[in-house]
Amino acid sequence: MSIEKFSVEKVLSVHRWTPTLFSFTLTRPAHFKFAAGQFARIGLKVKDDLVVRAYSIVSSPYDETLEFFSIVVPDGAFTSNLQHLQVGDELYLEKIPYGFLTLARYQLPLPQDLWLLATGTGLAPFISMLQDFATWENYQQIYLVYSVRTVSELAYVKRIEEIALSFGEGHNGFKFVPIITRDPHAQLHDRLPILIENGELEAAVGQQLNAASSHVMLCGNPQMVDDTKEALKRRGLTMNRRGEGNIAVENYW
């Protein structure tokens, strides 16, 4: 990995949600342009090696800083070092962003109802998209569905409320739907593919998935992405290719 592909950026803040979940912000160089939903490649010097990982960007394309949401992977070469991050530390940021999980990829069906389905840190790209007024203008219904194991892992809830108030002012089609899979008392506690199959997700948002109107984005656990994709296909939805179709996906790890 050639170091010239990277710029060196400073850590501006670190927020710890739980012992294994944290968010951090970096300085944003003027050359770093991205679309909401894309990811950055971040590098960390471990001994003499540059270890690089992909991170979806939480911040909006208009923000002056770059925010990321991370889990600590036990014994992971990257995050077990990154978890000790402090304000003022330096990280490497690859100069160009990556990824195709962006709303611009949808041409048909025309935007109507948007389903943003995340597990864990896969929430990141959706927070970015929701901080773009165009998202709120283009979609009549927006459902943000966020699956975590325990309620303590439900990060960003306050931020989501604030975003809905400031960006979605006057928009009455937004619903935030948490799923807490290890809490049998939670209103929704089954995994996403099951909730699609048994109709509970649609009941919770008050609308049916529909091949003629739904844009569905999946981000997070790779097995969730695969299983949910199949559940959606069984409902008649199709993968978005060359602009056409309902489903767009990103594995977060």
The yes or no reply on residue 252 touching ligand NAP (CB under 6 A) is yes
Please give the residue whose beta carbon sits closest to ligand NAP in the complex.
Answer: 120
The kind and range of the H/E element at 21 are strand 21-27
Minimum CB–partner distance for residue 12 and ligand NAP (Å): 22
The yes or no reply on residue 101 touching ligand NAP (CB under 6 A) is no
Can you tell me which of 51, 191, 201, 248 binds ligand NAP, judged by CB under 6 A?
191
Q: Of 13 and 223, which CB lies nearer to ligand NAP in the complex structure?
A: 223
- Cα(161)–Cα(20) distance, rounded to whole angstroms? 23
Bridge partner residues of 10 (DSSP): 90
The yes or no reply on residue 208 touching ligand NAP (CB under 6 A) is no
- Cα(14)–Cα(84) distance, rounded to whole angstroms? 10
Q: In which residue are the tokens 């997070």 written?
A: 220
Alpha carbons within 13 angstroms on the beta-carbon side of residue 125 total: 32
Q: In which residue are the tokens 């960006």 written?
A: 167
Residues of this chain, 143-172, that bind ligand NAP according to CB under 6 A:
147-149
Q: In which residue are the tokens 């209103």 written?
A: 187
Minimum CB–partner distance for residue 56 and ligand NAP (Å): 10
The yes or no reply on residue 60 touching ligand NAP (CB under 6 A) is no
Which positions ≥6 away from 184 have C-beta within 8 Å?
A: none
The yes or no reply on residue 253 touching ligand NAP (CB under 6 A) is yes
Give contact residues for ligand NAP (rule: CB under 6 A): 71, 73, 119-121, 147-149, 181-182, 191-193, 220-221, 223-224, 227, 252-253
